[in-house]
Each structure stands twice: as structure tokens, then as C-alpha cells.
Amino acid sequence: MHLNPRSGRWLPDHSRLQHHVGSAVAYNVWQYCQASGDSEFLRTKGAEMLLQISRFWSDAATYDDALGRYRIRGVVGPDEYHDAYPGTAAAGLDDNTYTNVTAAWVLAHTLDVLEALPQPCRRELFERTGLEDRELARWDDVSRRLHVPFHAGVVSQFEGYGDLAELDWDAYRARYGDIRRLDRILEAEGDTANRYQASKQADVLMLGYLFSPGEMRTLFQRLGYDMDDTLWQRTVDYYLRRTSHGSTLSGLVHGWVLARVRPTQAWAYCKEALEGDIADLQGGTTGEGIHLGAMAGTLDLVQRGLSGLQTRNDGLYLDPVPLPELSAYGFSLRYRGHWGVQFRMSPGQLEITVPVSDQSPIAIELAGRTVSVKPGETCRLVLPER
């Protein structure tokens, strides 16, 4: 249960249905192994974690003959405003896009990891977990045929989202001012956010936080859907108009996504994330404890969001985006035994300094060009124009 302080009522808490958290664990296993080069962990505990999470998603997916696709029903996505269909007693929603797409990613990546395992590790893992080839075949099938709903020329948050009522946003802002916690306002009025196309925080747009545009296109293509820049930008605009940002994490995700599609709007969200606790934007929550995830996210926004930094193919790939309000910035990170690799972005230039050590050179890819930077060296690269 959770309390709505506006109405004084205790309400059912259905967050246990946010099964996408399992995909986040799998995603971070993969990210950790890519950044650290910890192949021993990937061959043992990491592979088993991916395997068991894939089993969960395979079991959760049911085949719909009418659609010719698999569906995952009865879940709650990142947007906690929606935990049931209007007028129904049962909790949960069907085919949350973020849940289904990340589940497909987990299944596909687990198959790749298992395929790359050395035969002795693979054999031991299969025997210990009782994994059979028929399971792998189902994982592959599910990863290619999970259902993703669409409506009005955009990606739907979940099946039926487009059938919900539109909210009069201007009227509620005029009446209440701050409507970040719109769910509490509506419940106190005897209404529910489940009836409206209104989101607490990024849901579909979370895909743009986890995956680069190229990765997202590949994921949707594997599922049999086209995802081009125009469709994604329409989807971003659609949900921007329907999100109240009732979570301190929402500004981070929107700042990250907008840096790619609407750079002039991105900084407002980045700044809100930075000010979240200092200005107590949630209206009293700072006294209950700082938003540590949002604070860490502001660092992640600089390190990976604005720089476009990805760890892949045993190297670092960068795709920086300039923000008008941020003329220059720098950060350092640890990568595969290198401590304090320095990055400095300035207009038209990226400077990388690798500290002296006995480690191997780092492969840096930018705009289709790959350079090798040795320990003790500084490399300056020209940034492509956007």
C-alpha cells in the first residue's frame, strides 16, 4: 500500500508488476562486462544471470494466434501512473512497449553470450541449469515476434493507450500550479490517472535512454518493425506533451533523449535534474531523503548521454551532441584497467588523454574513424558537424 497525502487514503501498490527491472539487471550485467572486460564474470555468474532472466521472459510470453505474435500481459511499465485498465479490478497492462522491447533485447543478447562461451563453460552451464536446445529455439522465436503496439502514427506505451481520454493539461495547471504528482491530484478528486493519456515519467522514451538510435533501429527490425528517425521524433513529441514529470528521473531521460532530437529543449530538463534536491522541486520530498538515482544520473548524462559514449567491440564509441548552453565540458572515467581516462569536449574538438600505465591502448571510434590511444598519450579529434 502507499499513502496519498492529498486525500489521506491508502491505495494498493502494484509496483511488484514492474518486471522490466529484471531486464535492467541484465542490461547492467552486459554494460559492466563491456566496460570492465571482466570475461570471467561473463562466463560464469553473468551468463547464468542472463540465462535465468531470459527464462523468465520466455515463460512470461504467450502466443496470440490472431496477432501471430507473442504478448506479455499484466505488467506495469516505468510510468507508474498506469497500473490497470480503467474500470477493471485486475491490476496490470498488456504489451508495455518498454517491457517487451527490453525483453527481446535480453533474449537476443543472452543467445549471443551463450554462443560465444568456450565449450567447457557452455557445457557446464547447460548441465548445471538444465538448459536445453529447445529453450534456445523458443528464446530466438520470442525475441523476434514480441508484440509492439502503435497508434496515431507513434509507438504506444502499451496496448490500448491510444484509447484513453485526453487530459485538459491547461485546466489542471491553472487550477493546481504544480501538477508533477497528477496521480495524487486525480485520486483526491475521485478520479484516476489510469483513465488518461498522462504519464508520470518517461516510459516508451526510456528506450532512447538505453539504446542509441542505431541500436534501437536494429532491435525493432529484429522484431519486424521499422523505426526511423521520423517515427521516433513523432513519438518523442507525443509523449512530451503528455508527461507531468512526477519523478526526478524523468528530467534525466528527457534531457538525454532531447539532446539527440531537440537540442534546444534539452538543457531545461538537464538543469531540472541537477536542481531536483537543491530546490526541492518535488515539494517536500528532499526532507525525506535525497534522490540518489537522479544525482548519479546527472553524471551519467554528461559521461554517456551528451558524449554518446558506448562500450562496444572492445573499444569506446563516441557520438557527441552539442548543447548551446554547454560550450565545453570534461569528465574522467575508468575503463578496463585504465584509471582516469580524461575526455574534454569543446566546440569542434574532442580531446582524450590516457594516463600512463602498463595497460593496452584504447580504441576510440568517432564518426566512422577509429584511432588507438596509448597510455601516456593525448589525442585530439575533430567533431563532425550536426
What is the per-residue pLDDT across 103-130, written as a single tens digit (0 to 9) for each?
999 999 999 999 999 999 999 999 999 9
How many angstroms separate the Cα of 54 from the Cα of each of 21, 57, 124, 148? 13, 5, 18, 18
Set 40, 48, 80, 385: catalytic member:
80
Region 35-59: what's the mean pLDDT?
A: 95
- Give the distance between the most distant pair of CA atoms in the chain: 66
Kindly state the cell numbers that stand for 61: 510470453
In degrees, rounded to 5, the angle at the alpha carbon of residue 221 between the alpha carbons of residues 260 and 55 is 105
Q: Residue 326: exposed, middle, or buried by beta-carbon count in 10 A (0-12, 13-18, 19+)?
A: middle
pLDDT category at 324 given cuts 50, 70, 90 is confident
Q: Are 142 and 107 in contact (CB under 8 A)?
A: yes
385 labelled catalytic:
no
Contacts for 8-12: CB closer than 8 Å, 24+ residues apart:
9/187, 11/187, 12/91
In the predicted model, what is the mean pLDDT of residues 162-174?
Answer: 96
Q: Which of 74-83, 254-263, 289-298, 324-333 has the highest mean pLDDT?
A: 74-83
Across the range 307-317, mean pLDDT stands at 87
Mean pLDDT of 356-365: 92
Could you tell me the pTM of the whole model? 0.91
Cα gap 192→175, rounded to integer Å = 17
Q: Rounded to 5 degrees, what angle do the CA atoms 234, 236, 240 make?
A: 120
Average confidence (pLDDT) over 224-246: 94
Decide the pairing of beta strands 362-366 and 315-318: parallel
What was the pLDDT predicted at 282?
Answer: 66
Cβ(175)–Cβ(132) below 8 Å: no
The set of cell numbers assigned to 24 is: 535492467
Q: What pLDDT shows up at residue 283?
A: 67
Q: What is the distance between the alpha carbons of residues 37 and 51, in angstroms, rounded to a whole number?
A: 20
| Mean of the per-residue pLDDT values of the chain | 92
pLDDT digits (tens, 9 = 90+) for 64-87: 999 999 999 999 999 999 999 999
Residue with cell 574513424: 369
Q: How far apart are CA 283 and CA 123, in angstroms?
A: 55
